[in-house]
Structure 1
Amino acid sequence: MNARFAMSRGKTLAAAALAALVASALPGPASAVADTGRDHSEHWGVITRNTIGSPVAALRDGPFGSFGVQGSAARPPHGRGSLGIEVADQSEKVDFGNEVDFFGDPVLGLTKVGFHVFQTGENVDAGGAENMPNIRFEIDPNVSAHPGDNYSTLVWVPDAAPVTGRWSPYIDATTTGYWYLTGNETACNQAAECTFAQVKASLNDGGEKPTIHTVAVGKGRDHMWIGAVDGLRVNQTVYDFEADGVKARRAG
């Protein structure tokens, strides 16, 4: 054995114990499991069946900036990374989400939803101030009037981002923007915008309760959009998008 790397069993055990002691003393969470008791990071990615064209939805570092921007707005709100999204035009669509861990969860149990966004002036020029990514829940609506309908997408359309060229504050999907269902299961369809409370009430018709299939952040098919999202919140968990994976953290 190379002498530089040789170590007795006793020294190895002692080193391991010391490392564990140091790790326990470090500030901050040691892992996503420690944050929430529920680590979803391995189940996040592009939902291929909901992707059209050649868009990009990739975990990345940054963005940092734009140039001249300083302070908290100049960096992702959680960690160093974010989910970068690039959609060229109305021919493309992408969803980045989780098809495993939310399956069967109650739609009516949703109480907190939202995210932070990095919006640009170029995106506004391309599609207007409300050219923004969406939060989408694929669900089983379980509406009594449509007993054979077990699929719809519950979509949040944000208002205009409060800032451009920098990271936004948290945007609360339960109090801003509007919601709709893609299958016209209730009066909350794309032609009749609903608040968060209204869309939940429309699904609570006294029969079997609606359940979640998947959760995603998405964009398209409408306008070019090139930007980023971070800190997706679903109830008491914030999903921190980092270049090396998605970290589940307890909401503060």
Structure 2
Amino acid sequence: MADKSTSLTPPSEQVEFGNEVDFYGDRVLALKQVGFHVFQTGENVSYGGPGNMPNIRFEINPNLTAAPATTYSSMVWNPAPSPVTDRWSPYLNATTTGTWYLTGNAGTVTGCTLTAQCTFPQLKTVLNDGGAQPTIYTAGVGKGRDYMWIGAVDGLRINRTVYDFEANGVRTRRAG
């Protein structure tokens, strides 16, 4: 059974669509457009409330001047609740809505943590600390282990590329 696939109590899973190739080495500060459309079901809202949403995560090298030995962090976007239920949302723009945080020591050093989340402009400011540019390792969209999620994501946008998730695979296109 899928719900018994981890040793956590209660058994929990995490799912993620990711890309470990196309963004490797890209500059975090060059991110201008990030977001997606979501199909948020009423059933899903009943499990974790309206904020029970998937997220976008970039694995990065934060290259922080104050923490040069910290070479890994996850940079995570938590979207605000979807404005609609049981239909596709408009584009949810991660650069202007929701909140961001960094995991591990990078979060501690910058103050953008899970418990003290930042806006996208605030996050970019704390990462632009005068040292080497922070770089991306991977990009992904997924759902963590907190609550069951029933829904769908489409039109994942990272800068000028949009990823459409189709039955026969992922189709990429240039944003207009």
TM-score (norm 2): 0.91
* CA deviation string 1:142-188 (max 9, x = no partner): 11111111100000000000111111111111111100001141111
Corresponding residue number in structure 2 for 1:250 = 174
* 8 Å contact from structure 1 (residues 90, 222) kept in 2: no
Contact 2:70/2:105 (8 A) holds in 1: no
Q: Which amino acid aligns with 1:245?
A: G
The answer to whether the Cα contact below 8 Å between 1:107 and 1:212 also exists between their aligned partners in 2 is yes
Please say if residues 173 and 196 of structure 1, whose CA atoms lie closer than 8 Å, have aligned partners that are also in contact.
Answer: yes
RMSD: 1.7
Tell me the distance in 2 between the aligned counterparts of 1:53 and 1:146.
39
TM-score by length of 1: 0.64
User: What is residue 229 of structure 1 aligned with on the other side?
Assistant: 153
Instruction: Report what 2:122 is aligned to.
Output: 198
Which residue in the other structure is 2:36 paired with? 115
Which secondary structure state, in structure 2, belongs to the residue aligned with residue 240 of structure 1? strand
- Asked if the contact 1:179–1:193 (Cα under 8 Å) also holds between the matched residues in 2, the reply is yes
Describe the superposition over 1:30-67 as per-residue Cα deviations: whole angstroms up to 9, x where unpaired.
Answer: xxxxxxxxxxxxxxxxxxxxxx9659xxxxxxxxxxxx
In the TM superposition, residue 204 of structure 1 has moved relative to its aligned partner by: 0.5
| C-alpha distance in structure 2 between counterparts of 1:242 and 1:201, whole Å | 36
* Contact kept? 1:90, 1:220, Cα under 8 Å: no
| Separation (CA, whole Å) in 1 of partners of 2:53 and 2:73 | 21
- Number of equivalent positions: 168
- The residue number in structure 1 matching 2:131 is 207
What are structure 1's unaligned runs of at least 5 residues?
Answer: 1-51, 56-88
Spell out, residue by residue over 1:64-104, the C-alpha distance to the aligned partner (whole angstroms, 9 max, x if none): xxxxxxxxxxxxxxxxxxxxxxxxx7721121110111100
Out of 180-189 and 130-139, give the one that drifted further.
Answer: 180-189
SS of residue matched to 1:124? helix
Matches within 5 A, 1:26-45: none
Structure in which a larger fraction of residues adopt helix:
1
The verdict on how the C-alpha distance between 1:105 and 1:228 changes in structure 2, with shifts beyond 3 A counting, is same
Higher mean displacement: 240-249 or 127-136: 240-249
Partner in structure 2 of residue 161 of structure 1: 82
Q: Percent sequence identity over matched residues?
A: 68
Give the C-alpha shift of residue 128 in structure 1: 1.0
Of 61, 71, 74, 1:140 maps to: 61
The structure number with the bigger radius of gyration is 1
Query: Do the aligned partners of residues 121 and 90 (structure 1) sit closer, same or farther apart at CA in structure 2, a change above 3 Å counting?
Result: farther
Distance 1:235 1:174 in 2: 11
Deviations 1:106-155 (A, max 9, x none): 00000000000010111111111100000000000111111111100000
CA contact (8 A) 1:90 1:221 kept: no
Q: 1:53 to 1:113 in 2, by over 3 A?
A: farther
> Matched residues in 1 for 2:72 and 2:43: separation?
35
Which letter does structure 1 place at the counterpart of 2:98? G
> Any residues of structure 2 matched to 1:179-194 within 5 Å, and which?
179-185=100-106, 186-194=110-118
- 2:18 is matched with which residue? 97
